[in-house]
Chains A and B, each alone.
Chain A
């Protein structure tokens, strides 16, 4: 068995940023395991611009953003393996990977950072009835076919889901000569950015049907069309509103799920809300020395936030390898009154008081609210927001002094105070 101090599973934006920061924190014995043939992860197929405004103060495309971090990793001489798929992580931090070059290899790590990203929800996850002809793709699969492989997967397209990937693909398919008939969204609002609705749909007169869904897929060999219907306020399709749209392709952009199969093997406790691990403010899971960052922890809106979070994970993992032991006593942060989740999920009841950022999402669109953090029911932090929406992750930055108040409290709550 090989011994490595820090194994990072995944060479996308999270893994690259974690590796860079762990190195800069003094850790030299790092191994990145990446299953694809190149570093960069999903950024390689996200050829549109809009990445990096926070990190680099300029708008980059996905491949450009990835190359900035790849350059940093290469410059530091950090070891990475490509075409290497991790098949197991045990709770004593033995990482098993396979590659055509090395065969099956076991690595004993002192710390493991899981940075394996998320996966798209497929057709089976939303149970669309109908035939099983070719032409149903997840939006990300279509994106890979068009942008990396140079194939157009269809000519007459309907897109289910108005998340950013669905919107971006509506424009991309249009650019490549396909006709996008409609984007269909179950909810009465889009989880995508307004900018994408304007620049990917409105610019090309692509209709967006809110409160609609696809109820049936027709076509035995190849998709011949889909039946869409309006839904009621309980999201149930209304029979009388059904109508047929002829098309040869249905793209699904119906949500992302953190990919935690490896975490489960390692007996990492998962959050039912995010699908990612339950982590403390050091991004450490309940399994000592196993960390999570990026979209495997919770799905982010912006890669900039993935990088920032992952840089933190890299430093914390380096600290842990250097002997900083985690505190056993935890306070679970409760999310109430419309706050769906927050990361970190728990706080260590120790005496380390450092500035800390919390990432959170709300469950619905709320106007004129105050994001508040309460320690034993007393407001420690509050910030008024004209509007909050599920599609926009909110950041709360607390000072060391505020963190001290939270860590000394018996209960910590993140909540929305509504009204003026």
Chain B
């Protein structure tokens, strides 16, 4: 199947056409430099995204604290991971790097806190 995508490596924003009919030989056209090929192949084989959000925090100076996935997770887990966050309530104090939700959907990546919140 042939797909169109915009390369995100630089402001050039090349319009790439990726053909992955033959999984062993994915072809990319429209790229100006080799980075376009790497990007396109990753996008059609194993796309990953960082997910950031916020969770409730009790007894802190602010009501919500921001979190992120420690590293990028498979794209198809984005909404499942966000569903998880709805049921998380942390208790202040929390610190940058604290685990907010461990091993998201069994993918081995944790949600970690990205802001220090003191207790009131």
Contact = CB atoms under 8 A, between A and B. Distances in A.
Interface of A: 37-38, 44, 47-49, 59-64, 67, 146-150, 175, 193-195, 197-199, 202-203, 386-389, 391-392
A47 B32 contact: no
Contacts of A391: 11
A195 B8 contact: yes
Contacts of A59: 50
Interface string B53-75: 11010000111101010000001
B12 A387 contact: yes
B53 A194 contact: no
B13 to A, nearest CB: 4
B5 interface: yes
Contacts of A202: 5-6
A206 B52 CA distance: 19
Interface residues of B, number: 28
A38 B5 CA distance: 41
Interface string B93-116: 000100000000000000000111
A386 B11 CA distance: 9
A149 to B, nearest CB: 7
B96 A198 contact: no
B5 A198 contact: yes
B46 to A, nearest CB: 15
Given A203-B75, A386-B12, A386-B32, A198 B6 contact: yes
A149 B52 contact: no
A47 B11 contact: no
A214 to B, nearest CB: 25
Given A63-B114, A67-B96, A147-B54, A49 B68 contact: yes
A388 B116 CA distance: 39
29 contacts: A37-B61, A38-B61, A47-B52, A47-B115, A48-B52, A61-B52, A61-B68, A61-B114, A62-B66, A63-B115, A67-B96, A147-B64, A148-B64, A175-B53, A175-B78, A193-B8, A194-B7, A194-B11, A194-B13, A198-B6, A199-B49, A202-B6, A203-B49, A203-B75, A203-B78, A386-B12, A387-B12, A388-B11, A391-B11
A126 B94 CA distance: 42
B14 to A, nearest CB: 9
A361 B66 CA distance: 33
A47 B53 contact: yes
Contacts of A195: 8
A60 B5 CA distance: 26
Nearest to B79: A175
B114 to A, nearest CB: 4
A214 B95 CA distance: 43
B116 A67 contact: yes
A392 B11 contact: yes
B64 to A, nearest CB: 4
B82 interface: yes
A363 to B, nearest CB: 15
Nearest to B53: A175
Interface string B30-52: 00100000000000000001111
